[in-house]
């Protein structure tokens, strides 16, 4: 179906849907407008999906409706039951499904183009090849990232002898196949071969990535999916797909670069660092060095009689589902005249904005969430830093240890405060798998246990003072 064959009224509705996607992306850029932006984007997507049923003479309508019902049911169920700690895995899966769908659409279009291949330009075949390969890369890579985050496989980099050579060979074969398809080698089997090469490349691309780099790769794969959706829109002559895919591709690329900058490393270092010995996954051995531990009452007294407190939330807060208790503790401290803010690191948690969403769920006022660049200057004037479930984002090794896998990553300057309190389950290192020297400094006190139980005890202690 070409754009010229689409009724004018349908083209105008598609244009409105495209505008809706742009407004949705704008709304998602701020916490106060995010909910409205999400609803606008969802409404535009529903209208865009329903529109072809109104003006096209479609075959297999019943099968399509059944597929839509099944997909919508699974999506609603997954979104309702997924825990906040599993949100990155869900994002990876949804992203992979999008890339895989785009690749399948391109294969279907390839099959449809074969009888009239002589009248098509090389650009149509080139975009078809691109969509098949990159869509397959996004699907396979997203599945591997899901497996890493879900701990179905090791989250550490997986490297084997010959991996770089294998990756280069696959890339060369994929490029050769794409060129062959573009210059006249139209064949459905060639399309399947390109899809298979894309799947292999997606696996080889993500296997060497580990530790805190995995969420960044999810963002990169999301950009890939957007580009393949845009390619599918071009093949189908569908403006709304072209606009939506371009928006996702551009925003995903921008987000990937921002996250890489927050980690203090180039994207190439994130993707290929493990091949030359650099990665954010270090040793997972438990430290046996002595630390100063305390009780919930000790922490309660420390917080209650402070003038300035900064809370650093991390993934452990999400695991314990302790955000509501933490907010209540902060509210009580405010009532006692203590100034409290939340320090938000760009890559805290397992995906961008993870801590913002987690704290928003607990009705934490957005004004209390302060980004790293704005709050780092406050730490030297802070009495107590309360670190709840975070580790790597306050690890001084990022500044001092050139051999550290996170060296160069901007961190929250918690070590510059007068005192630091860590809430941890154990001495197990963070997601990057490296020891935190801040745990052993004289001004640091550790409270071991589940974060929600620990915060509940601390809250009771503060109220009793």
Query: Is 353 within a domain?
Result: yes
Task: Pick 455 or 266 by higher pLDDT.
Answer: 455
Residue 459 pLDDT greater than 70, yes or no: yes
Do 248 and 185 sit in the same domain of this protein? yes
Query: Is 306 within a domain?
Result: yes
- pLDDT over 70 percentage in the chain: 90
Model confidence pLDDT, tens digit, residues 21-51: 999 988 887 777 888 999 999 999 999 989 9
pLDDT for residue 119: 57
Do 259 and 317 sit in the same domain of this protein? no
Write down the catalytic residue from 4, 288, 383, 392.
Answer: 392
pLDDT for residue 3: 46
Q: Could you give the dihedral angle defined by the CA atoms of residues 310, 316, 319 and 325, in that order, rounded to the nearest 10 degrees?
A: -30
How many domains is the chain partitioned into structurally?
A: 2
Question: Predicted confidence band at 116 (pLDDT cuts at 50, 70, 90)?
Answer: low
Do 199 and 251 sit in the same domain of this protein? yes
Do 104 and 249 sit in the same domain of this protein? yes
- pLDDT over 90 percentage in the chain: 40
Do 369 and 301 sit in the same domain of this protein? yes
Range of the domain at 234: 82-276
Question: Predicted confidence band at 153 (pLDDT cuts at 50, 70, 90)?
Answer: confident
Do 271 and 358 sit in the same domain of this protein? no
Do 249 and 135 sit in the same domain of this protein? yes
Question: Predicted confidence band at 277 (pLDDT cuts at 50, 70, 90)?
Answer: low
Do 101 and 228 sit in the same domain of this protein? yes
Please identify, among 276, 308, 338, the residue that sits at the C-terminal boundary of a domain. Answer: 276
Do 268 and 315 sit in the same domain of this protein? no
Average pLDDT value for residue range 387-400: 86
Query: Is 246 within a domain?
Result: yes
pLDDT for residue 1: 43
CATH number, domain of 324, equals 3.40.50.1220
Query: Is 291 within a domain?
Result: no
Task: Pick 349 or 196 by higher pLDDT.
Answer: 196
Range in 112-116, 271-275, 448-452 the model is least confident about: 271-275
Query: Is 72 within a domain?
Result: no
Residue 100 pLDDT greater than 70, yes or no: yes
Query: Is 145 within a domain?
Result: yes
Please identify, among 276, 306, 321, the residue that sits at the C-terminal boundary of a domain. Answer: 276
Is 392 part of the annotated catalytic residue set? Answer: yes
Average pLDDT value for residue range 300-322: 91
Do 226 and 326 sit in the same domain of this protein? no
Please identify, among 241, 276, 311, the residue that sits at the C-terminal boundary of a domain. Answer: 276
Do 336 and 259 sit in the same domain of this protein? no
Model confidence pLDDT, tens digit, residues 356-382: 888 888 888 888 899 888 999 999 999
Average pLDDT value for residue range 421-448: 82
Query: Is 68 within a domain?
Result: no
Do 381 and 260 sit in the same domain of this protein? no
Question: Predicted confidence band at 429 (pLDDT cuts at 50, 70, 90)?
Answer: low
Q: Are 423 and 387 in contact (CB under 8 A)?
A: yes
**pTM of the shown model:** 0.78
Query: Is 47 within a domain?
Result: no
């Amino acid at each position: 179906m070409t754009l010229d064959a689409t009724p004018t009224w349908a083209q105008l509705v598609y244009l409105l849907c495209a505008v809706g996607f742009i407004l949705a992306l704008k709304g998602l850029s701020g916490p106060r407008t995010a909910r409205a932006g999400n609803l606008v984007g969802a409404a535009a997507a529903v209208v865009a999906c329903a529109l072809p049923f109104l003006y096209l003479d479609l075959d297999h309508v019943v099968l399509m409706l059944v597929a839509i019902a099944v997909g919508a049911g699974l999506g609603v169920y997954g979104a309702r039951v997924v825990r906040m700690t599993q949100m990155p895995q869900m994002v990876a899966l949804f992203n992979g499904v999008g890339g895989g769908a785009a690749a399948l659409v391109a294969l279907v279009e390839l099959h449809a183009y074969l009888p009239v291949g002589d009248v098509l330009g090389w650009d149509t075949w080139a975009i078809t090849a691109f969509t098949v390969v990159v869509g397959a890369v996004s699907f396979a890579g997203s599945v591997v990232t899901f497996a890493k985050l879900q701990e179905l496989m090791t989250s550490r980099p997986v490297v084997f002898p010959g991996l770089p050579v294998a990756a280069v060979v696959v890339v060369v074969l994929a490029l050769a196949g794409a060129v062959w398809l573009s210059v006249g080698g139209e064949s459905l089997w060639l399309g399947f071969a390109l899809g298979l090469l894309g799947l292999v490349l997606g696996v080889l691309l993500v296997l060497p990535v580990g530790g805190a780099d995995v969420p960044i790769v999810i963002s990169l794969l999301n950009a890939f999916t957007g580009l393949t959706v845009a390619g599918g829109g071009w093949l189908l002559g569908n403006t709304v797909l072209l606009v939506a895919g371009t928006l996702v591709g551009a925003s995903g690329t921008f987000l990937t670069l921002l996250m890489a900058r927050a980690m203090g490393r180039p994207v190439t270092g994130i993707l290929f660092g493990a091949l030359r010995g650099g990665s954010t996954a270090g040793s997972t051995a438990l430290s046996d060095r002595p630390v100063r531990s305390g009780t919930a009452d000790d922490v309660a007294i420390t917080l209650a009689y402070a003038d300035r407190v900064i809370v650093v939330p991390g993934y452990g807060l999400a695991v314990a589902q302790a955000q509501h208790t933490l907010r209540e503790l902060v509210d009580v401290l405010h009532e006692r005249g203590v100034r409290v803010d939340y320090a938000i690191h760009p890559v805290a948690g397992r995906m961008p904005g993870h801590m913002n969403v987690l704290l928003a769920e607990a009705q934490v006022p957005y004004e209390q969430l302060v980004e790293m660049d704005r709050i780092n200057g406050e730490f030297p004037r802070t009495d107590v830093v309360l670190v709840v479930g975070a580790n790597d984002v306050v690890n001084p090794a990022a500044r001092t240890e050139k051999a550290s896998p996170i060296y160069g990553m901007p961190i929250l300057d918690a070590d510059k405060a007068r005192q630091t309190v860590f809430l941890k389950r154990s001495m197990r290192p963070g997601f990057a798998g490296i020891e935190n020297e801040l745990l052993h400094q004289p001004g640091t006190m550790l409270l071991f246990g589940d974060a929600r139980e620990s915060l509940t005890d601390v809250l009771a202690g503060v109220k009793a003072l």
